[in-house]
Amino acid sequence: MMLRHRMNGIATKAVGVKGILWLITTWISLPLFFLATGRSLDWWEAWIWCAIILIPMTIFGILVFRKDPEFLARRFKLHEKDQSQRRVMAFGAPFFLAALALPGLDHRFCWSEIPGPIEVTALALSLAAFLLILGVFVSNRWAGRTIETYNGQQVVSSGLYAVVRHPMYAGSLIFWLANPVALGSWWALLPALAAIPLLVVRIRYEEDVLVRELKGYEEYRHRVRYRLVPLIW
């Protein structure tokens, strides 16, 4: 018992160190990325976007580490078991990177002219979508970054999960489609649209895994009809 307690303590400390390093790295690298692509301190959209992501992420990370470090350990796990999903993630990475890099080039070379109220609305949508994702993490502690099931995992069917079966992906879709406009670029919407087919493929595979490995998911799937968008799919 003492050995198990000591091992749990070591694992918790390791997660804490990873979390601190992740926060420090993200706080430094994200603004530097936009400074490198936009090459301007006057790009107010980028700095507001950084704030609405970094501040909630930091507060959430600190609170969750104190309450449920095992959840953070699952979120830090990046390696997919299934090779097909590794290919999906590898295929999607350049599109997601382009969706964040193009707004900087757009800002530098003035390719897009987006009215201020539309940009502010898109920033609000980015924030709302990110908070929605964090809300999913609060209600579903099993929401890992990779597609797999865990010992003791149970079907979550309350809250947002009573509306669609994959609210985290719904929030991610809103987030990625709002970000280009929030950062002042129409052109960045083109690579961001890749999120739609990639999420569809990922959801179909994830549901196959959950039906096969998670008790009660088949009944939940029949009870909650829509996967991603209410009344559509």
Structure tokens at 200: 């569809």
- CB-count burial class (<10 Å; 0-12, 13-18, 19+) for 215: exposed
pLDDT at residue 5, as a whole number: 43
pLDDT at residue 11, as a whole number: 55
Q: What is the pLDDT of residues 131-160, one digit of tens each?
A: 999 998 888 888 777 788 888 888 888 889
pLDDT at residue 12, as a whole number: 67
Residue 127 lies in a domain: yes
Residue 214 lies in a domain: yes
Residue 230 lies in a domain: no
Q: What CATH number is given to the structural domain containing 200?
A: 1.20.120.1630
pLDDT at residue 81, as a whole number: 76
Residue 144 lies in a domain: yes
Torsion of CA 41, 98, 79, 166, to 10 degrees: 100
pTM of the entire predicted model: 0.86
Residue 232 lies in a domain: no
pLDDT < 50 positions in the chain: 2-5, 7-8
Q: How far apart are CA 133 and CA 41, in angstroms?
A: 29
pLDDT at residue 9, as a whole number: 53
Tally the domains of the chain: 1
> 177 lies in which domain range?
2-223
List C-alpha distances in Å: 173 to 48, 51, 76, 181: 20, 20, 21, 14
Alpha carbon distance, N-terminus to C-terminus of the chain: 48
Q: How far apart are CA 7 and CA 70, in angstroms?
A: 13
pLDDT at residue 138, as a whole number: 85
* Cα 200 from chain centre: 15
Residue 157 lies in a domain: yes
Residue 172 lies in a domain: yes
Residue 49 lies in a domain: yes
77, 20 Cβ separation under 8 angstroms: no
Q: How far apart are CA 112 and CA 134, in angstroms?
A: 31
Q: Which residue intervals of the chain are DSSP H helices?
A: 2-38, 44-67, 69-76, 83-109, 116-139, 167-182, 189-192, 195-213, 217-223
